């Protein structure tokens, strides 16, 4: 199915927001970078915030689809898939356009928990937790919720370290820590 004008707009806006941030990206920059007029933008979205929400929904779907498929490809067992999370992160960190986590940026720019943009970022993180929790349960973790949270903390720390310090090897360092956590959580 061919993308609609709205889909094209959301895709281009996503790239622009990821590259420049949300508050720093005004409507003029969106017009310049997307090639879509303000009139057309407002025809599809009532406000810049509505466009941001659509871009976050698209990024969520794209990122989770990519990440979960990579984890499944990198490991046959749930334990191997949980470790594979960090190999997938290493691939992402090596991409030329890597600029950190769009959802962390959204939550930091829209800090009130009740803000729809903040809530969308939190929903993304909750879906990641759900997936890791399921894999931790399948792997036989004594406390799958705790293990999932610990792995997410390592994931987030690796992303921030790779982005702020320019150290893509943070994925391998987090992977080593994750292996220790998995060994402890799965020992019976």
User: Residue 89's domain spans which residues?
Assistant: 54-186
In a domain, residue 174? The reply is yes
> pTM (2 decimals)?
0.93
Q: What are 65-88's pLDDT values in tens digits?
A: 999 999 999 999 999 999 999 999
Cα 151 off chain centre by: 14
Q: How confident is the model at residue 4 (pLDDT cuts 50, 70, 90)?
A: confident
Q: What are 120-176's pLDDT values in tens digits?
A: 999 999 999 999 999 999 999 999 999 999 999 999 999 999 999 999 999 999 999
Q: What are the C-alpha distances in Å from 122 to residues 16, 110, 113?
A: 21, 11, 9
CATH classification of the domain holding 138: 1.10.357.10
Number of domains into which the chain is organized: 1
> What is the sign of the dihedral through the CA atoms of 125, 127, 130 and 135?
negative
**Taking the CB of residue 147, how many other CB atoms lie within 10 A of it?**
24
Residue 132's nearest CA partner among 62, 182, 94, 73 is 182
């Amino acid at each position: 199915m061919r993308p609609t004008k709205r889909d094209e707009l959301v895709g281009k806006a996503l790239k622009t927001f990821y590259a420049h941030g949300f508050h720093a990206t005004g409507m003029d920059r969106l017009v310049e970078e997307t090639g879509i007029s303000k009139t057309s933008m407002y025809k599809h979205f009532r406000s810049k915030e509505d466009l941001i929400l659509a871009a976050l929904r698209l990024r969520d779907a794209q990122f989770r689809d990519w990440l979960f498929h990579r984890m499944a490809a990198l490991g046959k067992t749930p334990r191997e898939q949980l470790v594979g999370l960090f190999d997938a992160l290493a691939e992402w960190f090596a991409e030329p356009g890597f600029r950190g986590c769009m959802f962390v940026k959204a939550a930091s720019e829209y800090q009130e928990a009740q803000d729809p943009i903040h809530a969308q970022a939190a929903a993304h993180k909750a879906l990641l937790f759900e997936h890791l929790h399921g894999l931790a349960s399948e792997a036989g973790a004594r406390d799958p919720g705790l293990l999932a949270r610990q792995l997410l903390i390592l994931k987030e720390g690796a992303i921030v370290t790779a982005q702020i310090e320019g150290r893509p090897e943070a994925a391998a360092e987090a992977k080593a820590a994750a292996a220790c956590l998995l060994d402890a959580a799965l020992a019976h």
